[in-house]
Amino acid sequence: MGEAWTAEQERVLCILPFPEPTELIESIEKKHPNVKFLYHTLNWLPKSQPFPQAEIDEKYPWKEATILCTFTALPSDPKIAPNLRFIHFLSAGTDHVSKTPIYRNSDITLTTSSGIHGPQIAEWVIMQILNHSHSEKKLIEWQNQHKWGAHQEIGFARDSVGQRLGVLGYGSIGRQTAKVAKAMGMDIIAFTASPRKTPESKKDSGYIVPGTGDPDGTLPSAWYSGLDKQSLHNFLKQDIDVLLVAVPLTEQTRHFIGKEEFEILGKKNAFIANIARGSILQQDDLIAALKKKEGGLRGAALDVTDPEPLNEESELWDLENVAVTPHVSGMGTTYQERSFAILERNLTNLENGKPLINVVDRKRGY
């Protein structure tokens, strides 16, 4: 839990659902003598269980905290925490707190852990592309049956050389996926909300895991942008073989891809991987496109669904061309280390009067 705070210190309150990473915190405190952590463990709650907001308000030393490190635990009113300078979220997005008073009624700076998930999620995406093209579901079924199957039953694998990966949302996850996919022989095209017409605008300005991603934005053979239907359709019409959905969930991207969009992708018999949020896709339209014999999608890999958890009766569970995983693609052994690295960098920037990184633009929603 740490020692009591003193008035002259930068006071970091951590409310997180895992044990205190003592070595990480001690390392940060050693580099920043004026920083002191106070750590509390708040266990994960099922989504069906009400969040204990009254307990949150009562239990933690909000008045003294100058920095908050959290997933979901926030004071119910900004006035409870008058000294907060910024809040660091261990999630990549903040859509889950977008309706809270802290988000809507305060100007407290919010930062995220965007960038830390790139390697592990990119590996999940590539794994799903390969699993589908190499009929891994059927091969595992045969193994479970102790059956030496005939290759005629699964056909020949479609390798990635010459296929086009469309990255809808060219952030850290999209950039690392692009890097790996490019090495496999794929062509990359990128889509962003706003235009990226200059070399400087194509650079990744957020946190980058060393040695990963596309820091200068040089991998895509073409860039597309815009949140209107015409711009989206123009992107989807570029003969996309695999679409990676990696945009943040905002009011503009909710149900961004539906029947019309699936029909465009179906002309190329595309494969979709969604690691963003389930409600970016119209799920009923997705199911219909996956079931079409001609002009539909060849498959989908979904780490996110709408709702979550996915209903037991959903058709997605049993479709042969679909892989469903329970929102786990971002989980990795370096999660805490990388997220605290962002926090530590922002503590340094704060001390040196430099802008913080990974700052949320409330108007954009990410």
The residue assigned the tokens 């694998």 is 157
Domain presence at residue 329: no
The residue assigned the tokens 């199911």 is 287
Tokens for 103, please give them. 């988000």
Answer yes or no: do 188 and 49 share one domain: no
The pLDDT, as a whole number, for residue 99 is 94
Domain presence at residue 276: yes
What CATH number has the domain bearing residue 281?
3.40.50.720
Answer yes or no: do 187 and 100 share one domain: no
Q: Which element (helix H / strand E) includes 28? A: helix 22-31
Answer yes or no: do 90 and 122 share one domain: no
Laid out side by side, the sheet with 67-70 consists of 35-41, 10-16, 67-70, 86-89, 109-111
Alpha-carbon distances of 305 from 72, 142, 200, 284, rounded to whole Å? 20, 28, 35, 11
* pTM of the predicted protein model: 0.91
The pLDDT, as a whole number, for residue 103 is 97
Tokens for 107, please give them. 């100007």
Domain presence at residue 261: yes
Domain presence at residue 129: yes
Domain presence at residue 93: yes
Domain presence at residue 123: yes
Domain containing 274 equals: 118-324
pLDDT tens track for 55-100: 999 999 999 999 999 999 999 999 999 999 999 999 999 999 999 9
The pLDDT, as a whole number, for residue 1 is 45
Domain presence at residue 318: yes
Decide if 101 contacts 196 (C-beta within 8 A). no
d(CA 91, CA 300): 24
The pLDDT, as a whole number, for residue 3 is 54
The pLDDT, as a whole number, for residue 273 is 98
Question: What phi-psi label fits residue 211: left (phi over 0), alpha (psi between -120 and 50 degrees) or beta?
Answer: left
Q: Got the DSSP string for 206-248?
A: S---TT-S-TT--S-SEEEE-SSHHHHHHHHTTT-SEEEE-PP
- Using CB atoms within 10 Å of the CB of residue 253, give its burial: 0 to 12 exposed, 13 to 18 middle, 19+ buried: buried
The pLDDT, as a whole number, for residue 9 is 84
Domain presence at residue 363: no
Answer yes or no: do 316 and 182 share one domain: yes
d(CA 297, CA 282): 14
pLDDT tens track for 106-151: 999 999 999 999 999 999 999 999 999 999 999 999 999 999 999 8
- How many CB atoms lie under 10 A from the CB of residue 212? 16
Decide if 167 contacts 246 (C-beta within 8 A). yes
Answer yes or no: do 39 and 139 share one domain: no
d(CA 68, CA 99): 18
Answer yes or no: do 54 and 91 share one domain: yes
Answer yes or no: do 280 and 189 share one domain: yes
From the first residue on, what is the mean pLDDT of each consecutive set of 10 residues in the chain (366 residues)?
Answer: 64 95 96 96 78 92 96 96 96 93 96 97 98 96 96 92 98 98 98 96 95 98 97 98 96 96 98 98 98 96 97 97 97 95 97 96 91
Answer yes or no: do 194 and 205 share one domain: yes
Answer yes or no: do 256 and 231 share one domain: yes
Q: Work out how many domains the chain is built from and give that number.
A: 2
Answer yes or no: do 151 and 45 share one domain: no
d(CA 210, CA 89): 21
Answer yes or no: do 32 and 161 share one domain: no
Answer yes or no: do 21 and 158 share one domain: no
